[in-house]
Every structure is written in structure tokens, then in C-alpha cells.
Amino acid sequence: GEWTRAEMCPPGQHLLSFRLRVEAPRGIWDDTAANSMAAICSGGALLEGRGGLQGSWGNWSLPCPGRGAVCGLRTRVERPQRAGDSTGLNDVDLYCCS
């Protein structure tokens, strides 16, 4: 794949919540899984990745509580499929710190 340009919160703001655009499994067709990500900054700015258009946006994650901010992440990545269709990124968890 190719990297798109960085999307960043305005100065003094931080990430609070996110959602993914995910394509459901298509059976024998080429599956793409997670295609894009959007995030909301503490001042309300919306950041949206320039990923693929396949799939549907999921629900927004719960925002970080209080004055918390995103400080970590975990990804779910499918292992390469020898004879099958590899999808790559399937899900993301973001973690909040205060």
C-alpha cells in the first residue's frame, strides 16, 4: 500500500474518539477489511483518513473520559493466507491515558 498524508489535530488538541470503515467478508471475492479511519479531536475537529471507499463506517468509540487522551493502540492483523485471501488490518483498539 501507499501512505497518505498525515492528518493531525490542531495545536493544543488531542484525539478523543475514532471509528473505522470496514468491508464485511465477501466470500470468494477479494476481501479488504479495514479501509479507513476517522477521529475526533478534543476541540471537535474531524480527521478522516484517505483510505478506500469499500465498506461502511462503524460506530464511534467512547471518548476518552475527563481530560484523557489517546496514548496507545493495538491492531488486529490477519496472518498471511497461503491459498486464501489476506486482508491485513482488521481492527484497532485505542487506549486512553489521563
Q: What is the pLDDT of residues 79-90, one digit of tens each?
A: 767 766 666 777
Structural domain boundaries enclosing 36:
15-97
Question: Considering its fold, how many domains does the chain have in total?
Answer: 1
Residue 89 within a domain: yes
Residue 72 within a domain: yes
Residue 31 within a domain: yes
Question: How far is 34 from 32, CA to CA, in rounded Å?
Answer: 6
User: Mind spelling out the 3-state secondary structure of the chain?
Assistant: CCCCCCCCCCCCCCEEEEEEEECCCCCCCCCCCEEEEEEEECCCCEEECCCCCCCEECCCCCCCCCCCEEEEEEEEECCCCCCCCCCCEEEEEEEEEC
CATH at 72: 2.100.10.20
Q: Which residue has the higher pLDDT, 27 or 66?
A: 66
Q: What is the pLDDT of residues 36-73, one digit of tens each?
A: 889 999 999 999 988 777 788 989 998 999 888 889 98
Q: Which residue has the higher pLDDT, 51 or 13?
A: 13
pTM metric for this prediction? 0.77
Residue 75 within a domain: yes
CA 81 vs CA 26, 60, 85: distances in Å: 15, 30, 6
The predicted pLDDT at position 42 comes to: 92
Residue 9 within a domain: no
